[in-house]
Structure 1
Amino acid sequence: MQGFNKYYPPDYDPSQGSLNKVRGKHALGDRARKLDQGILITRFELPFNIWCGTCNNHIGMGVRYNAEKKKIGAYYSTPIFSFRCKCHLCDGWFEIQTDPKNTRYVVVSGARQKDEDWNPEDNGGFAIHDTEKESVEIDPLAALEKTTDAKRQMETVAKPRIESLQVVSEHYNSDPYSLSLKARKKFRDEKKVEQQKRKADDELKGRYGLPTTLSLLREDEKSVQEAKDLWSKAKVDHLGAKRRRTTIEVSSIPATTSARLPPSSSSKSSTLDSLRTQILQNTAKKSAVTRSLHNSTLRP
């Protein structure tokens, strides 16, 4: 019986210690059977593809084994662990260790890692060189010149800029209450103006039966002048069209003469001629008035 179950026999005495101690079992059970040798049985997952050295079979990344975990050293304060696994395809054993210096795993024995490194040069890319720079002797004169330039830059550019930023910061942060008061007063005034405009727009929409979702333009000098120009132009176009219709109607009246009409209709023809003359005179007067109004409207 494992010592970590929840069954306590009737003869169990708590003064004897824990149930594991009474039964002579470890808390980790069968995983701690080699704990006296410093080995702990743990579940280990392959971090990469390998080839077994005994059966020469491929073992894919992610396959899990009950590995024997053992501490074999340390890199500074980081321990180095060894994982010894038995191949599930044969009776061979292989060992993988951690490499804290290079932050990777290394196959030590019993297998070989599948080489999957990608070389940029072989695939039309650029070569990746070692980023660690070799130690080069520093020229004292060049270092001194660089230090002098840095000091000059600091005195002429950096220091005045920092001082100006400090002045601006002190100006805006010297009295935050008054600044907040001004900002809130400005927001309240703008809100009142916006509410008045919204109220006027709602009244206008209700008066003319406009939809509530319609957004009205704000009145300014430019929009007012454009509206006046459009109104004057539409008025002139309307009067011109009316004048043309009147001219067409008058011209469609046949011109009769006393020679063509019998004596009984001579009075009617004279009446029509006088009516035609009067209509033409009225039309000419309206045209003159319309032109004068249009010129006075367009005059700056």
Structure 2
Amino acid sequence: MSSLAAARADNFYYPPGWRPEKGSINKYQKSHPLGKRAKDIKDGILVVRFEMPFDVWCTHCETHIGKVFNALKDAYTSRGVRYNAKKSKVGMYHTTILYQFELTCATCKGIMIVQNDPEARGYKLVSGIRKKVQVDDIPVGSHDDETIEQLNGPEVGIAKAADPFYRLEHDKKDKEVAKKRSVGLQDLISHQDRLSDQYQTNASLRASFRAEKKTLKRKTDEAHRLNLSIPLVDAHIDDVVASKSVVFKRTRPTKPLKKGILPSKRDPFANFGSTSSSKPSSIPKTIIRQL
């Protein structure tokens, strides 16, 4: 490596026209250490890589954004979609800086704004974006049928130990809840018993697969016989009846052939050489010349 290349590699290279009174190298070359990411740094905006922390929906085009789908594993990975976001400071929460991230939807080019939320230890969706509701986001007791129940906390145990009447009422409620749950538990147990025989379950599954495979092969052979490149569907009785009831008519009536157009069935050489006629005048003149 030459001395010039080594100096550039160590970031100690100074152009010939630079002087210390002209300021730093970046100021002299009118550049920034962060490059294009800092083109709006004078407005307090820095371009950073922002990874979507959870599944969301773009409100502009209703496109799902979030976890990346891995086609090889046929599942969603934990890595979210990443964007070049414009990061700017918008406020303070005590001593923590509130940052705003401006994203651009890759589908419709709509603007999506996300802010960090130190109070809730998460992120706040400001505009152009909507969070996908997950099971963990549903508050306890928000359902009418109370399908999600909250477990007893330590304060319940302390209250039961201190108040016998409270313990009696609470135990009665627990028995009612257990009775209500027993119906669903019995259904789960019976369903599990039906699947306990692994051999029979596997045999039934393979039989259904074989039948489906034969059906697909029959449809493929039928499409190949008809020279079709589209998949065929099962015939419906209504389609069969409708196809049989169709009567095809000629749009243009055909004109009858005129008399005399058809060639005559008589042999033109039938009388040639006949013994009944001995006159030479009956022989055509063209044949006489040839003879």
Which structure has the greater CA radius of gyration? Answer: 1
Counting helix residues as a fraction of each chain, which structure ranks higher?
1
Same fold (TM over 0.5): no
- TM-score w.r.t. structure 2 length? 0.40
State TM-score, norm by structure 1. Answer: 0.39
